[in-house]
Amino acid sequence: MSASAEALVVEDLHKSFGSVEVLKGISLVAREHDVVSILGSSGSGKSTLLRCINLLEIPDAGNVYVHGELIRMTTTSGAARVPEDKRQVERMRSRLAMVFQQFNLWSHMTVLQNVIEAPMHVLKVPRAEAVERAESVLQRVDMYERKDYYPAHLSGGQQQRAAIARALAMEPAMMLFDEPTSALDPELVGEVLKVIRGLAEEGRTMLVVTHEMAFARDVSTKVMFLHEGQVEEDGVPAQVFDEPKSARFRQFLAGTLR
Amino acid sequence: MDVNVILENIPLYIEGMWVTVQLVVLSLILGLALAVPLALVATSRRRFIAFWPRAYIYFFRGTPLLVQMFMIYHGTAQFDWLKDSALWVVFKEAYWCALIAFALNTAAYTGEMLRGAIAQTPFGEVEAARAYGMSRWTRFRRIILPSACRRALPSYGNEVIFMLHGSALAGVITIVDLFGAAKIVNARHFVPFESFMAAGFFYLCLTLLIVWIFRIAETHWHAYMRPREEEGEEKGSFPARSAPAYAAKGL
């Protein structure tokens, strides 16, 4: 395990919204091929953590390294913390593909157009190659037959699979999943989880914020439980789930395993 | 009813209609070109920056087009420095003055329309664009603007029709557009009802043409917000999701 390189290092991340401190110093290391599940009840800061990693939210303090490269931050005259180099952030984001709870597909584009958009206009991949790549990832998530559909004409599960295809088409160094199945009807959760499981088994590096305990237990290489903005428990799933050290995590597990 | 007078003067009406079409098309093109940056700046989060396009929009939406056109055509003639400048070749011509007034006016309305549509861009879609590494400009060009233009399309169709009808004001400042042609026919033959009704008929035809063009455009650009056509539901496919509310209104 120590043989693989560090894909992502997060050091002592802090984030407040107004007077509410959502992240109180979170650190995490994900090596290549790691699947890190981030658990926690609502309001524990897990989505904020993910959004701070690709700077959709600007953390108040702390460092993020992607493949050893520090995302440089600076402070403006107005004492606001901002990225020093926008281009560096954009480059970093293009390597960390995100999958959202609400899919966030671009609604005026077909599935295929959604999938080729960022490769063409961010990575500058020529159209023919982008289409080829898109068709292959759409087949991978079993959405090829629906490539000419608009998002509004698809079920939630299909939209989320299309969104995963959009992420895969970036050939990302790492994938960030923000509660990918939380907005889905129960009977659609399975088809999406199956795809994500498949990706995990391929050895893709991913960070998954999730409420799916079975998924976290079976698929992750590492589990992290957040409570009130702090890491309350972490470790390999077997250890964390079978011998939880923290009372809060035991409580949380009891609540979810009802 | 003296139909013969109208029939005799059809060539004059056609000529006038051609001027009307030119004026409207040119002012729409110029107006749109101006409206996009106007809307972009008006949606800026920095108030001091957003103030200027908004002030522009308030002025042109807040005053009658006729007043604006008179200010540009009659008003500019008052300034000697302008008369002495190279710009006078533009401002001495009624045609250019009308065109400038129309373009500035429609830019304000279109800009406001786009500003509203841009503000309504689903937040998640913009966030996805950020998360995929798009720069501000790429986000605007590839996601926000195409999405906003589609939402603004129905109201833009109205604006085009208003512009066509508003363009009749050109006839007031000596331009022989469709309305100007009707005025000439009336002056020559003194049949006001027939001459203006004929102009009305041609305006109606142009309006129908515009409506038809926008209907085709909406069929094409709004496919994504129509409820899905019922195809033979294949195995594994999911029932069509409810379309957004504006699709249900038949927009």
- Asked if the Cβ–Cβ distance from B133 to A92 is below 8 Å, we say yes
The confidence score (pLDDT) of residue A257 equals 62
Contact residues, chain A, for B132 at CB < 8 Å:
93-94, 97-98, 117-118, 122, 166, 170
The percentage of residues in chain A with a pLDDT greater than 90, rounded to a whole number, is 72
DSSP for chain B, written as a single string = --HHHHHHTHHHHHHHHHHHHHHHHHHHHHHHHHHHHHHHHHT-S-HHHHHHHHHHHHHHHHS-HHHHHHHHHTGGGG-HHHHHSTTHHHHT-HHHHHHHHHHHHHHHHHHHHHHHHHHTS-HHHHHHHHHTT--HHHIIIIIIHHHHHHHHHHHHHHHHHHHHHHGGGGGGGT--SHHHHHHHHHHHH--HHHHHHHHHHHHHHHHHHHHHHHHHHHHHHTGGGSPPP-----TT--PPPPPPHHHHTT-
A:B CB pairs within 8 Å = 85
What pLDDT is attached to residue A116? Answer: 97
% of chain B at pLDDT higher than 70:
90
SS3 A20: strand
Q: To the nearest 10°, the Cα dihedral for A234, A238, A241, A246?
A: -40
Closest chain B residue to the Cα of A151, Cα to Cα: B224
- Show the domains of chain B with their CATH numbers: 3-248 (1.10.3720.10)
Q: Please indicate, yes or no, whether the overall pTM of this predicted structure exceeds 0.80.
A: yes
Q: Which pLDDT band, with edges at 50, 70 and 90, does A155 fall under? A: very high
Distance from the Cα of A54 to chain B's closest Cα (Å) equals 7
pLDDT of B247 above 50 = no
Q: How much is the pLDDT for B87?
A: 87
A151 neighbourhood in chain B, CB within 8 Å: 224
Q: Does residue B244 have a pLDDT over 70?
A: no
As a whole number, mean pLDDT of residues A230-256 equals 88
Residue B239 scores a pLDDT above 90? no
Mean pLDDT of the A169-198 span: 92
User: With an 8 Å Cβ cutoff, are B142 and A158 in contact?
Assistant: no
Name the pLDDT band for A4 (thresholds 50, 70, 90).
Answer: confident
Range with lowest mean pLDDT among A244-248, A252-256, B61-65, B233-237:
B233-237
What is the reported pLDDT for B249?
43
Residue B243 has pLDDT above 70, yes or no: no
Interchain CB distance below 8 Å, B238 and A154: yes
CB B186 within 8 A of CB B2: no
Specify the pLDDT at position A35: 94
pLDDT at B241: 43
Which chain A residue lies closest to B138 (C-alpha atoms)?
Answer: A121
Over the stretch B11-54, which tens digit does the pLDDT of each residue have? Answer: 999 999 999 999 999 999 999 999 999 999 999 888 899 999 99
Report the residue of chain A nearest B225, measured CA to CA.
A152
Kindly state whether A47 is in contact with chain B, defined as any CB-CB distance less than 8 angstroms.
no
Query: For B162-207, how does the pLDDT look when each residue is reduced to its tens digit (9 = 90+)?
Result: 999 999 999 999 999 999 999 999 999 999 999 999 999 999 999 9
Residues of B in contact with A144 (CB under 8 A): none
Q: Do A106 and B238 touch (CB under 8 A)?
A: no
Percent over 70 (pLDDT), chain A: 98
Query: Which residue in A69, A71, A72, A66 sits closest to A31, CA to CA?
Result: A66
In angstroms, rounded to a whole number, what is the distance separating the alpha carbons of residues B174 and B176? 6
Residues of B in contact with A86 (CB under 8 A): 135
Lowest mean pLDDT among A6-10, A115-119, B79-83, B201-205: B79-83
**If you measure CA to CA, which chain B residue comes closest to A56?**
B131
B243: chain A residues, CB-CB within 8 Å = 152
Among the listed ranges A173-177, A239-243, B244-248, which one has the minimum average pLDDT value? B244-248
Chain B residues near any Cβ of chain A (below 8 Å): 122, 124-125, 127-135, 138, 142-143, 146-147, 150, 223-225, 228, 238, 240-241, 243-244
| pLDDT score, position B242 | 43
| Nearest chain A CA: its distance from B211 CA (Å) | 23
Best mutation target among A99, A107, A207 (most B Cβ atoms within 10 Å) is A107
The pLDDT-based confidence of B251 (bands split at 50, 70, 90) is very low
Residues in chain B with CB shorter than 8 Å from the CB of A103 are 124
Distance to chain B for A168, nearest Cα, Å: 11
Closest residue of A to B240, CA-based?
A: A153
Name residues 191-250 of chain A within 8 A of B (Cβ).
none
Q: Quick: pLDDT tens for B82-132.
A: 888 888 888 889 999 999 999 999 999 999 999 999 999 999 999 999 999
Q: Which of residues 155-184 of A touch B (CB under 8 A)?
A: 155, 157-158, 166, 170
pLDDT at A258: 53
Which of chain A's residues have a Cβ under 8 Å away from the Cβ of B135? 86, 90
